[in-house]
Amino acid sequence: MSGRSFSYATEAFEFIEGLENLVTPQDVINAVEKSFGIFGFENFIITGLPNPRESFEQVVLLKKWPVGWFNIYAKEDYVRVDPIIRLCRTTVQPFEWSEAPYDRASEPQAAEVMDRATDFRMKEGFCLPIHGIQGYEACFSMSGAHLDLSPQKKPALHLMAMYAFERARQLLKPSPYNGSGLLTPREREALTWAAAGKSAADTGEILGITERTVTAHIASACQKLEAANKTQAVARALQFKLIGL
């Protein structure tokens, strides 16, 4: 192993151990700013991915973004068309912004987000998607005007970003997150089996509870999702990504 990559490893492990001692969200922002600056990053955001009923501002955990850009991004609701956010939802691998596909001709809004970001020196970037337990989705996206992301640096960056995300999550406890907080685990389980074509009786057998209890979970899920019946509840739960197939 070369001396060069060794120094990034040391930096990464020291950064991770240092996170333990941080007490406030601002401490995390300062630590990330300092350590990620070494890689050329100037701005970053750690945010949950909003479901259709949440706004962007509601799900942001930590940010060091130019104020002007944050205001534009929120006002234009760019989170719905941002190709970086879109790729985050479908991959677990970290990626460079330039790897997030969009079509300039048919997706002018996607092009607009990427273009306007460069007005704020956010030309190049690196993004780490987070797919947590029980449907929690988030990302850590960072950018700079001149990045130098050699293959030796990326593993250190990947690891540091994951631990920084976790520390931010612990300190801010994003709860109740709508994805997992809206429905209880039992309600999600009952809907998942309904989506798989199982009756309440079948589901009761699978989960080891009575049919009546299953029906009660479904009824409660219908109420929370403002659904008229089980079919609509399943459709909404899939749409909001509260359950999967």
- 134 touches other proteins (CB under 8 A): yes
Residue 99 is classified by DSSP as G
142 phi, psi to nearest 5 deg: -135, 150
- In the numeric block, the tokens 């799900």 are attached to 59
Segment near other proteins (CB under 8 A); pick from 24-32, 51-59, 60-68, 92-100: 92-100
Q: How many residues bind other proteins (CB under 8 A)?
A: 37
- 136 touches other proteins (CB under 8 A): yes
CB of 209 to other proteins, least distance (A): 8
Give the E-state strand segments of the chain in sequence order. Answer: 43-48, 60-64, 95-96, 124-131, 137-144
**Closer CB to other proteins, residue 96 or residue 166?**
166
Cβ atoms of 218 and 229 within 8 Å: the answer is no
- 243 touches other proteins (CB under 8 A): yes
Distance CA 137, CA 174 (A): 11
CB of 5 to other proteins, least distance (A): 8
CB of 188 to other proteins, least distance (A): 7
Distance CA 235, CA 237 (A): 6
3-class state of residue 131 by DSSP: strand
**Closer CB to other proteins, residue 72 or residue 207?**
207
Report which residue type is found at 42. Answer: E
- In the numeric block, the tokens 């074509």 are attached to 197
- The contact mask relative to other proteins for 185-204 (x = CB under 8 A, - = no) is xx-xx--x---x--------
- Residues 207-236 within binding reach of other proteins (CB under 8 A): 207-208
- 133 touches other proteins (CB under 8 A): yes
Cβ atoms of 87 and 100 within 8 Å: the answer is yes
Distance CA 90, CA 86 (A): 7
- Residues 20-79 within binding reach of other proteins (CB under 8 A): none
CB of 220 to other proteins, least distance (A): 14
For binding to other proteins (CB under 8 A), which residues are involved? 1, 8-9, 12-13, 16, 92-94, 129-136, 155-156, 158-159, 162, 165-166, 169, 184-186, 188-189, 192, 196, 206-208, 243-244
